[in-house]
Chains A and B, each alone.
Chain A
């Protein structure tokens, strides 16, 4: 098997390296990916020149993500949600005989463990609110500065994982219980899909936000900008809950007890 792998890797690698000579040089602004074919239409140039007029969103990446390629992002979010459900289906075990986690005293591990716990606990107590606030800023400001639903959602999920690592999973679950993260994951998808369906109800295509200006009382261009914030919030909800669900289920073999 090792020999076969080595042969496969060397053959594939040399074929790819042979093709490298035909690629445009690094940093070439006129390469086909950056400027399209000679005299033809280039979608990435269109994004750069027209985003401001189409959507009034300064961050072109967010505009492409949430508006021009809204379908792609919607189904990527669905993939993440399904991944969360798959982990739930594979690992989660119901244990009706187990004691309720609220009744169990938090585990102590001797005097030395306590000293460590004080330092780690205090640091996390100071850090976690800042992390969460910054995550919310990244979500809410995602169409003006680098950021958006995916990045902010991962940060928010990581802050809950930090609680679980610093104290134990029970503490984290008391703040973000299984019922809550499952519901939040669904709500995220529903927000995103809801924006799409709302556009359809107003006689436009799915996720064609411009028409929502009738409900928002702003210009169609600003309606696109506001709707992008809405779908980013939906993405952030789903990503947050799936990130925490992955950690909680993997670290406890699906029992959701006692953590690492």
Chain B
């Protein structure tokens, strides 16, 4: 119980990401079907995204989009003059960097998943199956013939 209170609860985001990542890793290594391997890869990616986003969280902080009360052009023109008194408090806004990194990672992840699905589709066209062992058997058989 003590272990739960001191180690698990303050770090629960890391526990969830490790568990999710291991589910994905297990699917990628242990599963026989290529599509299931890809599902594992997606779960793995999602775990990494969760890890990054949870790193950027600050308790009580706002989204990293400060409201701009002053007019846009006015703010730009007066940027030099009002410098000191108007500095934002960095602890009041969530860390933007993990969000930026994951934003591109999500879309790139979708695009690469598309490539992976395209490759498995053309494997299915050639071998008639998506089970890894059956594909390996067919490759072995065809090399013995040739």
Residues of A within 8 A of B (CB): 1-2, 4-6, 8-9, 12-13, 16-17, 20-21, 23, 25-29, 31, 33-35, 42-45, 47-49, 52-53, 56, 58-61, 64-65, 69, 72-73, 76, 79-80, 83-84, 86-87, 90-91, 144-146, 148, 150-151, 153-154, 219, 221-222, 225, 239, 242-243, 246, 249-250, 253
Contact = CB atoms under 8 A, between A and B. Distances in A.
Given A4-B29, A29-B59, A87-B115, 4 more contacts: A21-B11, A83-B108, A219-B77, A225-B76
9 contacts: A5-B29, A26-B57, A44-B96, A58-B65, A60-B65, A61-B65, A65-B100, A79-B111, A250-B121
Given A25-B11, A44-B96, A60-B96, A250 B65 contact: no
Nearest to A224: B76
B4 interface: no
Contact of B104 (A44, A150, A246): A150
A49 B104 contact: no
B121 A253 contact: yes
Please indicate which of the listed interface residues B63, B103, B118, B125 has the most CB atoms of chain A within 10 Å of its own CB: B118
A249 B21 CA distance: 30
B139 interface: no
Contacts of A69: 100
Contacts of B121: 90-91, 250, 253
Contacts of B65: 58-61, 145-146
Interface residues of B, number: 65
Interface of B: 7, 10-15, 18-19, 21-22, 25-26, 29-30, 32, 54-59, 61, 63-68, 72-73, 75-77, 79-80, 83, 86-88, 90-91, 93, 95-100, 103-104, 106-108, 110-112, 114-115, 117-119, 121-122, 125
Contact of A35 (B29, B90, B112): B90
Given A60-B65, A86-B115, A86-B118, A34 B104 contact: no
A56 B25 contact: no
Contact of B7 (A8, A21, A90): A21
B18 to A, nearest CB: 5
A59 B103 CA distance: 14
Contacts of A86: 115, 118
A16 B97 contact: no
Contact of A26 (B21, B54, B61, B87): B54
Contacts of A249: 118
Contacts of A1: 29-30, 32
Contacts of B106: 150
A124 B93 CA distance: 39
A13 B24 CA distance: 11
Contacts of A44: 56, 90, 95-97
B83 A222 contact: no
